[in-house]
Amino acid sequence: MEFTVEQIAFMLNGEVKGDKSLKVSQLAKIEEGTEGTISFLANLKYEQYLYTTKASAVIVDKSFEPKKEYSPTLILVENAYTAFTTLLQEYQKLIAGSKKGIEQPSFISESSTLGGNHYVGAFAYIGNNVTIGENVKIYPHAYIGDNVKVGDNSTIYAGVKIYEGCVVGNHCTVHANAVIGADGFGFAPQSDGTYQTIPQLGNVVLEDHVSIGANTCIDRATMGSTVIKVGAKIDNLVQVAHNVEVGKNTVIAAQTGISGSSKIGENCMIGGQVGIAGHLQIANRTIITAQSGISKNIKKEGTVLSGSPAVENTENLRSHVLYRKLPTIEQRLREVENKLK
């Protein structure tokens, strides 16, 4: 897709300073701009790049006054950052919007219903009694098991597997090869050392505005539901075990694992590679730094935790600083011992 600078300025309600007929086809950071790209300058820390960038056009604040010569055409707007974000979103809509209709071969059970303005990619599989809302995109190789519900405006990317009976809300995004609703890890030890499988008969519920990363696993509940609440954002390769609840607007970075039945509060921020033990309660607005291990309930809202097993972050930092100094501490102790001999 190619646009003239004039077309873009019109869309952003901006004013052009320079060659209006220049064509741009891609977006770029100002320091990485090349011919045919459009960029923006919002933070004056990056002003230097305006004078060297090879971008064809740069969006700037109306109020901005250049101090040196520059080559790009400028688009003057009220707020360059906001305008550029608008541009990013429009660009993404254009790309995504091109996917429409049902590609063949695909497998759609006659007992399922599909809302309007849909995309179903080739080799997508939609099982029995599935209900799919309006404006939903289901990419190739996605598997939607029997009795699954998918709300409006959601996107299920290539290769996602959603097991029987799970529920996906409105405005959700599930990235490629994520697995929603596989059996929870439940095995009862027998007296002869073997394990008996405990049937996992619950499901997974993703509420509205939930985002799930690539290759992430959300296991179905033993009974009842594993729930990811409205607005929660989960990164790639995350493990969410059976009967877990992830609170509203909580953000979880890549490769974190949450063990069975733990309840994570609202607006928590959980770093990458964190481990959370089973059957815990984590208060709202808890912040957990990367690689921490949580082994106890967190009752106080807004606590910052680190370490494995994790404690309050400033406490952990104090211990850690002294851990690094252990050779000196041991040396000081030896000197004291020598004096006392």
Q: Write the Ramachandran bin of 272: left for phi over 0, alpha for psi from -120 to 50, otherwise beta.
A: beta
Give the list of residues 6+ apart from residue 119 with CB closer than 8 angstroms, or none: 99, 100, 101, 102, 136, 137, 138, 139
Nearest approach in angstroms of CB 108 to a second copy is 10
Q: How far is the CB of 313 from a second copy (least distance, A)?
A: 12
Residue with Cβ nearer a second copy (14 or 275):
275
Q: Kind of pairing, strands 195-197 and 187-189?
A: antiparallel
Least gap, CB of 183 to a second copy (angstroms): 7
Considering only CA atoms, which of 129, 209, 214 is closest in space to residue 170?
209
175 given a catalytic annotation: no
Alpha carbon of 97 to those of 7, 93, 94, 230: distances in Å?
Answer: 19, 5, 5, 25
Decide whether 20 or 248 has the Cβ nearer to a second copy: 248
Q: Where are the alpha helices (DSSP H) in 28-79?
A: 47-50
Query: For a second copy, which is the closer residue by CB, 67 or 161?
Result: 161
- Report the alpha-carbon distance of residue 41 to residue 61 in Å, rounded: 8
Cα separation of 50 and 255, whole Å? 38
One DSSP character per residue, 45-58 reads: GGHHHHTT---SEE
Q: At CB < 8 A and 24+ separation, what contacts does 237-241 make?
A: 237/213, 238/213, 240/216, 241/184, 241/185, 241/278
User: Cβ 125 to a second copy, closest distance in Å?
Assistant: 4
Q: Bridge-partner residues for 16, per DSSP?
A: 75
Q: Are strands 310-312 and 217-218 parallel, antiparallel or unpaired?
A: unpaired
Of 19 and 32, CB closest to a second copy: 32
Considering the candidates 118, 141, 171, 242, report the single residue annotated as catalytic: 242
Cite the active site residues. Answer: 242
